[in-house]
Amino acid sequence: MSDIAVQVEHLSKMYRLGVINNGTLWQDLQTFFALKFGKEDPNSKIGEDKYSGDKDHFWALKDISFDIKHGDRIGIIGKNGAGKSTLLKILSRITAPTEGTIKIKGKVASLLEVGTGFHGELTGRENIYLNGAILGMKKRRIDEKLNQIIEFSGIEQHIDTPVKRYSSGMFVRLAFAVAAHLDSDILIADEVLAVGDAEFQKKALDKMGDLSTGEGRTVLFVSHNMGAIKKLCANGLVLEKGKINFCGGIDDCITEYTQLSGNFIEAKSEKCYELDETKPFQVEKVEILNNEGKQLNVYESQEEKIIRIHCISRVPVFGLYGYFALRRTDGESLIVCDNKEDGNDIFNNLSKGRYIIDINIPKSILAPGDYFPYLSFSDNSSLIDSFLEGIKFKVVDTISGRGNNRNALTSLILNWRIIRN
């Protein structure tokens, strides 16, 4: 295992639904000692349909094996529920596997959820020292890294404020800065980076690339953004229903994932979302319309497209910030913008009620292909709602017959319009 950083053999993870034990103390003890000494659980199922599950059991991971070498940058991709986060939690030793073995050579720094490993009552500066101590670093070594961490996070003004008062974006900035700069051999990052703004996401991806190529660290990265995965990672794993569907070069992995996605994502120009009364602000429905207000699945490149968001504000919201990205099938963002340039005062002081927000996409800027809108809303302190999956539309060009334009239009400013419904 000289050049192997992570070795996973026959790893499985089962969750019990609605029960917390085997039914008897003797069976619980059998299971405990079997796991402790690496033996087969005598109370587990046997047979080909062992991982099929039943009403009381759910297998999040099913007998997966792989090796990761030192310095590798591995992208782990798959549909929601495929087992990605469970795998990372096991590798981070947050939870234990049901079966199988894991061998890790080196210190692991993980960034799985906003605030993981942080104590809310401690300041940002104190949490840096706390995380360093968890990784086994001496105080003198943390002192040497402190200024670099604070500068990279970009929250110098709030570094001595208890982190319980941080927004989700500030949490991510500091958490990533700590994980990236402290002495770890393996960096594990989940989709949590999506909470940060576009500028910080780019900064974080560049830093992870430098850690791997310049410092020889191993990076495991989970994301639904195929553009980010392709930029950072050289190889990847595609998970599907708890199993490894494909492993290899990242381009091949993205192709495989895209084909899998095509089986369950249909072109749909309208999506309704379940209401959650606990949310102060929520997207109820999103629809794609043409310039005549008609809802289609296929749109001409030469016509204007309107992203119409139906939303509800259950309490007054101050400083509503909307972030919009239009992504291609490979996950790369073609358009990225927000509502700051709109100048509509109603975004700054939103009273209770229902609203319609229209985002106009001018004609002739989208090349033929499939597109997925992404939108998130936040107030002055935290993310309050977002949507990513469930809506897709196709653009064709039957008029001019031009080819596909691969240039990203990230500097384009779109018109946002909000009215009370």
Query: What's the whole-number mean pLDDT along residues 85-108?
Result: 86
pLDDT of residue 363: 82
Domain membership flag for residue 156: yes
Q: What is the pLDDT of residue 35?
A: 66
Q: Of 239, 263, 287, which residue sits at a domain end?
A: 263
Cα–Cα dist 381/413, whole Å: 24
More confident residue, 220 or 40: 220
Is 225 a domain residue? yes
Over residues 344-369, mean pLDDT: 81
Average pLDDT over residues 128-139: 81
Is the domain of 185 the same as that of 148? Answer: yes
In a domain, 218, yes or no: yes
Residue 176 lies in a domain: yes
In the chain, how many domains are there? Answer: 2
CATH of the domain at 392: 2.70.50.60
Residue 268 per-residue DSSP state: B
pLDDT at 368 over 60: yes
**pLDDT at residue 244 is higher than 80:** yes
Q: Output 346 or 281, whichever has higher pLDDT.
A: 281
The answer to whether residue 23 is domain-embedded is: no
Q: Which CATH number covers residue 81?
A: 3.40.50.300
Q: Which pLDDT score, from 0 to 100, does residue 233 have?
A: 86
Q: Are residues 89 and 233 in the same domain?
A: yes
Judge if 274 and 128 occupy the same domain.
Answer: no
**106 vs 34, higher pLDDT:** 106
State pLDDT tens for residues 346-357: 677 788 888 888
Co-location of 191 and 310 in the same domain:
no
pTM of this prediction?
Answer: 0.56
Are residues 303 and 214 part of one domain?
no
Query: 120 and 242: one domain?
Result: yes
What's the mean pLDDT in 141-167? Answer: 87
Domain extent for 241: 70-263
The pLDDT assigned to 67 comes to 92
Torsion over CA of 194, 199, 205 and 211, rounded to 10 degrees? -130
Band of residue 253 on the pLDDT scale cut at 50, 70, 90 = confident
59 domain residue, yes or no:
no
Query: Please, which pLDDT band fits residue 264 given cuts at 50, 70 and 90?
Result: very low
List, in order, residues 6 or more apart from 110 with CB less than 8 Å away.
88, 91, 92, 94, 116, 117, 179, 187, 188, 189
Last residue of a domain, one of 228, 263, 298: 263
User: Across all residues in the chain, what is the average pLDDT?
Assistant: 77
Pick the last residue of a domain from 238, 263, 288.
263
pLDDT band at 408 (very low <50, low <70, confident <90, very high): very low
Same domain? 104 vs 247: yes
Of 156 and 264, which is predicted with more confidence? 156
pLDDT at residue 52, rounded to an integer: 60
pLDDT in tens, 311-341: 888 888 887 888 888 887 766 777 887 777 5
d(C-alpha 148, C-alpha 131), whole Å: 15
pLDDT-based confidence at residue 410 (cuts at 50, 70, 90): very low
Task: List the alpha helices (DSSP H) in 308-388.
Answer: none
Are 249 and 282 in the same domain?
Answer: no
Q: Mean pLDDT over residues 398-402, rounded? A: 49
Is the domain of 94 the same as that of 239?
Answer: yes
Mean pLDDT of 104-111: 82
Q: What is the per-residue pLDDT for 210?
A: 82
Strand extents, DSSP E, 34-106: 57-69, 73-78, 99-104
Does pLDDT of 64 surpass 50?
A: yes
Per-residue pLDDT at 219: 87
- Residue 317's beta-bridge partner residues? 350
Same domain, 135 and 227: yes
The pLDDT score that the predictor gives to residue 339 is: 77
285 and 216 within one domain: no
Tell me if 43 is assigned to some domain: no
Q: Which of 184-193, 262-271, 344-353, 354-363 shows the lowest mean pLDDT across its residues? A: 262-271
How much is the average pLDDT of 78-105? 86
Spatial CB neighbours of 142, under 8 Å, sequence gap ≥ 6: 128, 129, 132, 133, 182
pLDDT higher than threshold 60 for residue 372: yes
What size, in residues, is the chain? 421
In a domain, 3, yes or no: no
Residues 312, 400: one domain?
Answer: yes
Q: Which of 28-32, 167-171, 172-176, 303-307 has the lowest mean pLDDT?
A: 28-32
